[in-house]
Each structure stands twice: as structure tokens, then as C-alpha cells.
Amino acid sequence: MIGVSHIVVDWGTSSFRLWALDRAGAVLAERRSAQGLAASAAEGFETVLETHLAALAIPEGVPVMMCGMVGSRAGWVEAAYVDTPAGLDRLTEKAALVPSARRPVRILPGIAQRGAQGSDVMRGEETQLLPLIREGFAGLACLPGTHSKWVRVEEGKVSGFATFMTGELFHLLRSASIVAPAVDGAATVDPRSEAFARGVGDGLAAPDMLGSELFRLRAAWLLEGAGPDAALARLSGLLLGAEFAGAARFGGRGPVALIASGPAAALYRAALAQAGVATVTTHDAEDCVRAGLHAAAVSAFRLERMSA
């Protein structure tokens, strides 16, 4: 491929996203698949990667920078966690080298929190934060996902963070719990719906009642014939409200940088406004992870010098 400088890959538990970039970080081509951790481990991580690169006619020797669960213990090569407080330089310095005869391949490490703040880990989200940190961001960042993160950034470093299993709980409750029949057939959640707003308010005001409120979704379906769309919107709102109640203890009522894409971005924006967060700046999660990987690749592979 003409003009390609390097490859960046966000390789998670259930998805694979690859971009071919030029020296400035512009996207020349991309590949996406559902070849997450389990599928790739069975096929072989290098086989999966090289198959996608061959489809784009990427020559040997073009370097690859990756992030995500591909660097976990169950991944290709474990990229050991960097402890908080963690800065951009430490992430790049600690990138794990992957044995490969065809090209330089590295995986960015995740971040670990230990001690009095409570044990916690992240992989992939730290890469989304890199562009903001490089631009001087300081404050709180919210990163929605299967396991949503609230991250505190101070003086160019991740000083602490908290994880909320909001996305995973939503999926489990709507598909494999007694609540599932009440939301069966529901469409996507409308962030403008009254049911969603009421759910956010109730979850935020009384997170200790979450277990009871979740069961009431089933009771309302049984006794009142509540429709699935309203039930699903309330379920989403309750979980987000409870998350925000926890995030408030972490400092989540001040200005927040929301790093999100897709439907989650609109839901979190609406919930943040309802929670009284006055200042929210929104950043596209995919753009951020790609920019973070590009910055790490430039640093790790010394691309300016290589291309001179």
C-alpha cells in the first residue's frame, strides 16, 4: 500500500479494529471484525493479524502498535500493567515487544491501581486518554463501555480511576435475568424518553434501592402490562443513575470529558445533564484510540527518523 507508515490495532475481548496510517496519522485503510480474544486465540493471533494485513497488501516490515485485551494474560503477549500515577511516557516505554519475524509489533500496557484507592485495572481506555493528555487535559474523564471508567487526570498523569460494570450488567439483565421477559422485543433506548429520565433520577437519588427497582420492572410487566420499550429505557436509566451516584463520590459532579461513540454517547450526555454536570466536552472514542495509538507508534518506532 502506497504511503503507509504504520499500522494501529485496537484488539478487544469481542472485536478487532485495524487502521493503516500515513506518517501524519491519516487513515489510508481499515479492517474490522468480530475476531476478539477467544476467536483469535483459537485461530492464532499472528495469523489473524497477518490475514488482515495481507488483505490490505501491507508489506513486511511495516510496524504495528496495538492496545486492548490482546495484551492481557489471555492475549498474544502480556503487557504488564503500569501503576498509577501513570503518564504517557511510561505507557510507551513499557510497550511489550511481540515476537514476529515479519515486522516490529508492540502492545501498550494497561494501567493498574493499587492500595488505599482500591484495586482496579484498565486496558484500552488509557490509549483513548493519550490524545487528551498530550493536549494538556486535566480533570475527570468518563469512558462508557462494557466496564465504564471514570478517570482522574492530574499533571499529565492518570492519578486514579473507578470502574463500573454498567454495560455488562445491562446486557446480562436484559438477556439472562428475570427482567428479560419485560424488555423482550424492545428497540434501542431513546435518551429523550421519559422512562429513561425517570430511571436516571431514581438510580441517582437512591442507588441503594437499585436491586428493588430492577425487580419492579418485572412486577410492572406482570401487573400493569408495562411495554418493553419503556422498561428497557428505565433499566438503562437506573443503571446509569446508580453509576453516576458512585462517580459523584469519586468526584464526578465537576467538568467531565466524555469519551464515547455510538448510542452510548447520547445516553451519557443526557444522563450527565440530568445529574447536574454543568460542563461536558465530548470526544469520539474511536478517534481517540486511533490518535493515541498513532502517538505511541511515532514514539516507540521513531517514525519521523525512519521516514526521513
Q: Do 303 and 5 form a contact (C-beta atoms < 8 A)?
A: yes
| Start-end of H helices in 116-193 | 125-134, 166-176, 180-183
CA distances from 22 to 63, 99, 240 (A): 12, 24, 39
Q: How far apart are CA 302 and CA 267, in angstroms?
A: 40
What length is written for the chain? Answer: 308
Residues 144 and 196 in one domain: no
Q: Closest Cα to residue 149, out of 164, 139, 127, 133?
A: 164
Q: Are residues 146 and 10 in the same domain?
A: yes
CATH number of the domain that 300 lies in? Answer: 3.30.420.300
Spatial distance between the Cα atoms of 19 and 224, rounded to a whole number of angstroms: 50
Query: Which CATH number goes with the domain that contains 243?
Result: 3.30.420.310
In a domain, 294, yes or no: yes
Q: Before 85, cis peptide (omega within 30)?
A: yes
Cell of 261: 461513540
The span from the CA of 126 to the CA of 34, in Å, is: 22
The verdict on residue 1 lying in a domain is no
Q: Are residues 14 and 136 in the same domain?
A: yes
If asked whether residues 98 and 212 sit together in one domain, one would say: no
pTM: 0.92
Q: What is the pLDDT along the chain (308 residues), one digit of tens a residue?
A: 889 999 999 999 999 999 999 999 999 999 999 999 989 999 999 999 999 999 999 999 999 999 999 999 999 999 999 999 998 878 899 999 999 879 999 999 999 999 888 999 999 999 999 999 999 999 999 999 999 999 999 999 999 999 999 999 999 999 999 999 999 999 899 999 999 999 999 999 999 999 999 999 999 999 999 999 999 999 999 999 999 999 988 876 678 999 999 999 999 999 999 999 889 999 999 999 999 999 999 999 986 444 33
